[in-house]
Every structure is written in structure tokens, then in C-alpha cells.
Structure 1
Amino acid sequence: MIIRLESSSLIPSITMAEFEVQTNNKISSQTNSVFSSDYCKELYVPSIDNIKDEPCVDDVRSFQYKDSVASCTGEPPKDKWQALLIILLIQGLATTLPWNMFINAQSYFQDYKLMTTSNSTDMERHYQSSFMSYVTICSMIPSVLLSVINVFITNSKMASPMRMIVAKLVMLILLAVTIALATVDTSEYVVTFFIVTMVIIVFTNGASAIYTNCLFGIGSILPRRFITAVISGTNMAGVLTSISSIVSIAISSNATTSALLYFSSTIFIVAIALITNKIFHRLPLYVHCTNKIKIKPEKQSPRSQPWKIFKKIWTVCFNMWLTVVVTIMNFPNVASQVKRISIPIDDVYWTPIFCFLNYNIFNVMGSVPIKWTVWPGPKRMWIVVLIRTLILGPFFILNNYLPEERVLPAYLANDYAFIFAVSILGLTNTYLINNYYIYTPSLLDEDDVAVGGMIVNIFMFLGMLSGGLLSMFTHPLITYAW
């Protein structure tokens, strides 16, 4: 530290001796010596008009900080080669892969690993018939709990990129265990296999929930087209897993070989998402948007913030919840067990093509109209959600759902009506969910957008949990002698 005097006289109220004493006292009182910013400020207060100082370490850092502030107050940089958009699409793709992997492998689990015989116990039969409902419940309970925890431990402005990396590593490990189980003969341990599978589903989807929650929080601070890319990626996961399932069935009639091919493709995509995770954090547009959030002062304590944010967006959260309840109540548990009547196709392909692939294709297409219009607005959205609930809610139960067991008449049993209803279910699901994520930032202050996106995401998981619980009552509903 160099001090230069510009004049031969000091301030009249202080002598050089007194100044030296004060300086020595200040130096000895600082825990970080000359590297403390407080020291740098206090040392020059007595002679601010007469003394100039050379920059200390913190001065240099402050200059760099001012430069970064200036860089994020101007025009946002361009997304060169659409790199950020593509990477976020991949990240979104990996978020729902575990969920889609398990539901699209319904035949592998129910008809092969959990296959029952005349010697099977009632418990084994129950686990087989209710497998999809258990998958939904075991997926959504940890998803809801960990999403809520993630909101409250997250900085009030930003989501944690490091949690995304750890979550994906956990997903990769558990998916590898699932592949290993596919090679083991578990016919003598059906109940044990079922329990182990459910444990894997719990932890895999718990990790996926943290990953998804952070990703939507990050996407919420970016321009609108990026959150749309994330949602499109989550929907494309279903298409890829459906195609992978169909191809694996076509390549090999052996259930074990098909499962290995199918599960391996999922691991491959999650690995790519893990590799690209670090890249998008360094892209100029992402850095610009995050710096713009970081430089703003906190307006309220993080602990009180989530509840205050929720009060501003509770209508969006409710619509999100009800939309997803109707979807998950019918898909995949009910829709996947609707049997064909007259369409000429092998039964082994009926559900993979006209249920899973059909739903997932229209689920992706639901993002397309968002480019031109966002309708009908946050105040009137409940009308659309209510109409959708009244029409699609009971439709699949009244279709050709479990015809061998049902007592309730199948009033709407028709193959083409079923295919059309599945298409509308997927199309409206994505379109409405896209709208909710777009409406949320318009109802919040800029600093609250990231946490707001996480809260809306929690209600999506709550809707999935509620829909999964309701789907467990569909079987006794149609088999009850009314």
C-alpha cells in the first residue's frame, strides 16, 4: 500500500502523529490485514481530500465487478448457433426419462418380471395388476417432498447447478442397477423384485425431481423460448422412450434383450445431459441473465419468500394441479389397459403405438401453438381446465378398459374414439402446462421468478401424485356390481 501526500499540509483537525496512530490501530484491528475492503475504506476517510491510494486487492475486484454489472445491463448477447436452446432441450429430455422408461416398460414388468401363474399368491397378483399405479405413487411422493425441500434450501434468486449434476449421477447409477436386474432370473422372488424396483423408482425419481426443479428454476430467468425448449425436451423424452420400446420389441422377441436395449438408450441420453450440463453455464446469454439477477439486492428474506410468491400465483398452481390430475389419472394406468376391438394390428404393438407413442407425439405437438398464441390468459384458464376435466376425466374408464374384468358397461368402447381421446389428452396437457410456466413470470417480480417456477413445478408433481392415487380406484370402480 503506497500513500502519497499531494500537499505539505494535512487537514487542520489532525496531525501527522495522530494520523499514524490511527492508521496503526486500524491495521492491527483488521483480521484480514490489507486485503480487507473495510480497511481500505476506513484508512483513507480522514484524508479523503488530500491522500490518494493505490488500489488494493478488493479495489481490483470491485473494478471487475463493475465491469460485469455493466455487461449485464446492456443488450443480451445472442445465442450463437442456438447452443443454449439445444442444450436446454437435452437437459429437459433427461428430466423425465426415468419416469417414461418405467411406464413404457409396462409389458416387461407386468408380463415378464411380475408374471403370475396358478401358484401365485394374491399379493403377487395385486402387484402385477396395480404395477403402474405403484410406479406413479412411488415416483411422485419423493418428487413432491424433495421439490418442496429444494425450494426452501435454494437461494431466493437462483437455482443450484451443482444439484443438477449430483442428481444426474444418482440417476445414472440407479439406471445401471435396473439394467443389471434385467439379466437376473427373479421368477422365484417376484415380491422381492417388486420391492427392489419400487425402491429404485423412489430414489431415481427423487433425484429427477431435484434435477427438474432446478432446471425449471434456471429456465424461468431466461427468455420465454428457453422455458418452452425445456418443456419440449421433457415431452420428447416420452417419444424417444416409446420409439425405443417399439424398436426393442421388433428387434428381439426376448424380453431380457429388449429390456437391455431399451434401458441402455436411456442411460446414454442422461450421460449426454451430464456432459453438456457444465457447458451451458458458461454460455454468454446464460451468464448475462444470471448476473442480471445476482446484482439485484434482496428485498425479503428467503424463508418468507416462497409463501408470499405462492399467494401471487395460486390460481396458476391450482390449474396446473387439476390439469395433471386428469392426465395421470388416465395415462398411463388406465389408457394402457384399454384393449383394441377391431383395428387390424398385433396386440403386442397396440399399446406401445396407439397409447404411448400416440400420447407422446401429441404431447410434443402441444408446444407448437405457443409460438403464435398464449390463450386464454391466466384469469380464464380455469374454464378450459374445467371443460377438459369433465370430458376427458371419465372417458377412458368408459372405454374398453379391462373388458375381461369389468362389470360397469363400456359405453364409449371404440378404437378410433380412444385414439382421438389419447391425442387430445397429450395435446392439451402440454399446451396448458406451457401456458402456466409462461404466465408465472408475468405475475411476479423479476427476483421471484426462479422460485415461482419451482413452486409451479411442485404442483405439477402434486398433480401427478394425486392422479396416481386416483388411478388405483379405477379398477374396483369398473368391477363393482353397481
Structure 2
Amino acid sequence: MSSKDYYPMETKGSPKSYSPHKNGNLMDKSSSEQTEKFLPVIEPGLDSLNKNPEDVDFIPVDHTPPDRYRLVFFIMVVHGIGILMPWNMLINAKQYFEEYKLGKNETEVVELKGKFMFYLGIFSQVPNFVMSGINTFCQCGGQASPRRIIISISIMIVVFITTVILAMVDSSDWSVEFFWITMMTAVILNMATGVYQNSTFGLAAILPMKYTNAIVLGTNFSGVFIAVINIICIISAPDPRTQAIYYFVCAIAVLLIAFDAYFLLPLTKFYQHHRAMVRRQQNTSGPSRSFQETCALFGQVLKKIWVQALCVWFIFFVTLTIFPGIWSNVTKKDFPIENKYWTAIFCFLSFNVFAFLGNIVSEWKKIPGPRFVWIPVLLRGLFIPFFLFCRFEVENKVRTFPILIDNDYVYIVGGVLLAFTSGYYSSLTMMYGPKLVEPEVAGIAGMIMAFCLVMGITTGVNFSLAVASMAIQ
């Protein structure tokens, strides 16, 4: 029996796809609900290993295969953990960088130490933003490139191995040089992260909404995991150098697991089914789109999801304006806890735990819907002045206006609300966006949403430095 019998290219009532050549509409959606009986299996491997449909096996798609043992869901969670592992590792190693590596009492070193977290945010997120943008708009066929995921993870692993070596080296005589080496390390790590994050959201967008949320869930669990490791290291390994080595070795281990998970994903029937449906719709769309048609398609997708895209940008803009630059420099007044645990627990752990809980709650409660989600998102902007009026202080700097919120408990509650709403509304908007467009361009919508997420982070960390400069001198 020929492949033609399994894979009819033209059948009456077969679903239409995006075609730039019909009626001048790039997004002409068929009203027909008839489904093809057989679709090609998508084999695992790099882009260059894709075979001709005439040479591959075929799988029935009369019904969607189950995600057995929720394997695909947990693979996406693992990728979410891997995506934010570099960022979480660097910011949680605050004590290692500021007190151990930059502890030298010299004017230039002290100045760099005071702005370390702000510089780290900028040198991390600006490259992340640039690479995410390139990866979004430089796609072959409008889909995320799996090959880029593998290359990105490999680069991240190599850089972390280098970081462990630097932790073992005595850099006390070249602290300033170490500072800038660290910044360059952050640049390389987050360039790779931008591609990794963007491509992963593009892959998840062709799946049901909860699989996009699985990535967001993983990113926040990554923060919880590292924050807990941070506290354990403070208790059991008081030497910041030893703590840092533990951090970075953990990052390498997690990234190796994510590396393996990439090759496992295409082997699952659940992912094969959804990927095959998208491939079939793309194959029936006619000749390849020109550059102008591709740009127009991106514009039409953005037109449908712009509210969600703007929301996800603003959520992360507000969050990253405050965390970690401003939040990690809020001091306690009389809360019964040692100073060395204050920031570790009521900044890094608190933020990541409650953001993680916000992600989980979004699995069951989706309030408000896509139409009105912008209202609570906009109200989150009030958190910026709230944290500035808390006990935000930087060593050797003077506040330019008085402290109005001088109560540790009010500050803690404010932090919980910021973190929870960050996790909850980021999950909602990231899930809503790709589902407002047709399945064959959900991958494009997912990459646009991820790009706006990174843009929110980038603008937030830059605005954080500007706000801090006004608040302290």
C-alpha cells in the first residue's frame, strides 16, 4: 500500500491552513471540522534529520493520545527549571560575589559592590532580550528551532563549568577584573538563555494551555529550588566560596537533565500527535511564504494577542523593577531573625515560593478571563512605590526621601502579594496568548509572548537602576 493511501494531500473537506495566496488573507481559517485520519510521525533529532513525508511512518489521529504519566508536562517543567537556572544561580550567590569576591576595601571595588545586583540584572537581561528577539523573528517556517535549544543548553553548561573554576581561584588581587569577567559570563549565559527560553515556549505553544504554564511553573520552581539550596548552604557551609561551588555544580546537573529531556520529548506519542497536526496544516498551506508575507503574518498574530503580550510585558516590568535589585536591599527593623537569613528567606525564598504557588493556582482558577486580565495587571504598578517607601538601603548611600513603611510585617505581606500575583498573572497571560490564534500559528504566538516576557524583564531591570539612583545617593 502506498503512502498516498495513508496521507491524502487533497480530500474533500480537508482543513485549510494559513495561505497567503487566497483572497489576500494570510489567516484564512476553514470552517470545516473534518479531520484527516492519518498523519506523519515526527521523528526525534535535530532539524537536519527531518525526513520526507514519503519516507516516514504514519500514526492515526482519530483521537489525541494521552500524556502518559504526564511525561510531556514534566519535561516542560524541567525546561522551565533550566531556563531560569543561570539567573537564579547568579542572584542567589549575592553573598559570594559581594562579600567574598568583592570584599576588598578599595573605593572602586566598594562602588561596584554597591551596584552589583543592578549591573548583574542589566548585563543578564539586555543580552537575553536581544537574542530572544533575534530568535523570534529569524525562524525557518515560523516555528521554534529545536537545534537552537541544544546549542543553547550546551553553551550554558560550558559557561557554568568555567564559573566553578573561577570560584576556586583566588581573585583578591584582581577584584575589579573579576567583576567584569562575571558580567561577561552573565552576558554569554543569558544570550543562550534568551534563545533557549524563546524556543521552548514556541514548542509548548502547539500543546494545550497547561503545557505553556508548565514552563512558567518550572521557572518559579527553579527559584524555589535555588533559594532552598542557598539557605542550606548558609547553614552547613558558612564559607561563601564553598556555597558558590555547590550552587554552580547544581546548575550543571539540572542543565544536563534538561539536555536529556530534549531528546525524550519527540519520542512521546502525545507530542508527536500535536506536532504532526501542525506539520500537516503547514504542508497544505501552499508555497513557502515570502519575507513580506511572514512579516504580515507576525503582524496579524500580534494584532490578536496584543493585550496579552502587553500584559505579560508589564507583569515582568513591575516584578523586575523590584526584584532582586530593590527588594534584596530592604533591611529589617526588629524582626526576630539573624541578618544573614533575612534576605535569603524574605526576599529570594519568599518571592520564589509564592510565585510558584501563583502558578499552581492558575491551573485551577483562571480569573479574570482574557478580556479583563489587564485590570489587575495594571494595578500591580503600585508595588513599585510601596517597596521604595520600605527600608530600602544601600551601603555607603543616603536615601533622598524618608522611610514611610517602617514595619517588617507590612513589608513581608507586600512581598507575598507581589510574588503571588507575579506567578498567577504571568501564567494566565502566557496561557491565554497562544490560544487566541489558530493552532498552526500558535508557535509564533508563543514566541511573541516569550519575547514580551523577556522585554518586560529587560526594561524592568534597567528601570530598577534608574529608580534606585533617584532613591539613594
Same fold (TM over 0.5): yes
Identify which of 391, 399, 410 aligns with 1:406. Answer: 399
CA offsets per residue over residues 366-391 of structure 1, 9 Å max, x none? 1122222212122222211121112x
1:40-79 equivalences in 2 (<5 Å)? 68=58, 71-72=60-61, 74-79=62-67
Query: What amino acid is aligned across from residue 82 of structure 1 in structure 2?
Result: R
Correspondence for 1:57: none
Q: For the Cα contact (< 8 Å) 2:312–2:449, is it kept in 1?
A: yes
Correspondence for 1:393: 384
Paired with 1:306 and 1:62, the residues of 2 have a C-alpha distance of: 27
SS at match of 1:366: helix
Paired with 2:267 and 2:294, the residues of 1 have a C-alpha distance of: 26
SS at match of 1:302: helix
Identify which of 71, 87, 90 aligns with 1:99. Answer: 87
CA offsets per residue over residues 168-218 of structure 1, 9 Å max, x none? 000000011111111111111111111111111011011111111111111
Q: Give 1:479 deviation, angstroms.
A: 3.0
Query: What amino acid is aligned across from residue 385 of structure 1 in structure 2?
Result: V
1:420-431 equivalences in 2 (<5 Å)? 420-431=413-424
Q: Give 1:449 deviation, angstroms.
A: 0.7
Correspondence for 1:151: 136
1:231 pairs with 2:216: yes
SS at match of 2:390: coil
CA offsets per residue over residues 252-309 of structure 1, 9 Å max, x none? 1112111111211111111111122101111100111101000113375434322332
1:417 pairs with 2:410: yes
Q: For the Cα contact (< 8 Å) 2:394–2:472, is it kept in 1?
A: no
1:455 pairs with 2:448: yes
Q: Give 1:475 deviation, angstroms.
A: 3.1
TM normalised by structure 1 equals: 0.82
Q: Give 1:91 deviation, angstroms.
A: 1.3
Change (3 A) 1:403 1:110: closer
CA offsets per residue over residues 413-469 of structure 1, 9 Å max, x none? 211111111111111111111111221123212111101111111111111111111
Query: What amino acid is aligned across from residue 113 of structure 1 in structure 2?
Result: K
Identify which of 298, 304, 308 aligns with 2:285. Answer: 298
1:162 pairs with 2:154: no
RMSD across aligned positions (CA): 1.7
1:8-27 equivalences in 2 (<5 Å)? none
Correspondence for 1:33: none
CA offsets per residue over residues 97-141 of structure 1, 9 Å max, x none? 000111111111111111241xx13x4233211111111111111
1:341-380 equivalences in 2 (<5 Å)? 341-380=333-372
Correspondence for 1:265: 250
Q: For the Cα contact (< 8 Å) 2:309–2:433, is it kept in 1?
A: no
Paired with 2:260 and 2:435, the residues of 1 have a C-alpha distance of: 33
Correspondence for 1:191: 176
Q: Taking every aligned residue pair, what percent have the same amino acid on both sides?
A: 31
SS at match of 2:388: coil
Correspondence for 1:220: 205
Correspondence for 1:312: 304
Query: What amino acid is aligned across from residue 397 of structure 1 in structure 2?
Result: L
Identify which of 30, 54, 75 aligns with 1:87. Answer: 75
Query: What amino acid is aligned across from residue 321 of structure 2 in structure 1?
Result: M
Q: How many residues align?
A: 413
CA offsets per residue over residues 27-57 of structure 1, 9 Å max, x none? xxxxxxxxxxxxxxxxxxxxxxxxxxxxxxx
Q: Give 1:316 deviation, angstroms.
A: 1.4
Structure 1: runs of 5+ lacking an equivalent = 1-60
Q: Give 1:158 deviation, angstroms.
A: 2.7
Change (3 A) 1:304 1:252: same
Paired with 1:437 and 1:479, the residues of 2 have a C-alpha distance of: 35
Identify which of 447, 451, 461 aligns with 1:468. Answer: 461
TM normalised by structure 2 equals: 0.84
Paired with 1:63 and 1:408, the residues of 2 have a C-alpha distance of: 71
Paired with 2:267 and 2:394, the residues of 1 have a C-alpha distance of: 55
Change (3 A) 1:185 1:64: closer
Greater mean alpha carbon deviation, residues 164-173 or residues 153-162: 153-162
Q: For the Cα contact (< 8 Å) 1:146–1:206, is it kept in 2?
A: yes
Q: Give 1:311 deviation, angstroms.
A: 2.1
Paired with 2:456 and 2:370, the residues of 1 have a C-alpha distance of: 18
Query: What amino acid is aligned across from residue 298 of structure 1 in structure 2?
Result: S
Q: For the Cα contact (< 8 Å) 1:161–1:214, is it kept in 2?
A: yes
Structure 2: runs of 5+ lacking an equivalent = 1-51
Change (3 A) 1:77 1:193: same
Paired with 1:152 and 1:62, the residues of 2 have a C-alpha distance of: 27
Q: Give 1:403 deviation, angstroms.
A: 7.2
SS at match of 1:78: coil
Q: Give 1:62 deviation, angstroms.
A: 6.3
Identify which of 112, 129, 150 aligns with 2:100. Answer: 112
Correspondence for 2:376: 384
Identify which of 144, 161, 183 aligns with 1:176. Answer: 161
Paired with 2:119 and 2:450, the residues of 1 have a C-alpha distance of: 21
CA offsets per residue over residues 49-91 of structure 1, 9 Å max, x none? xxxxxxxxxxxx76666x73x623x211111122111222111
Change (3 A) 1:269 1:359: same
Query: What amino acid is aligned across from residue 60 of structure 2 in structure 1?
Result: S
Select the structure of larger CA radius of gyration.
Answer: 1
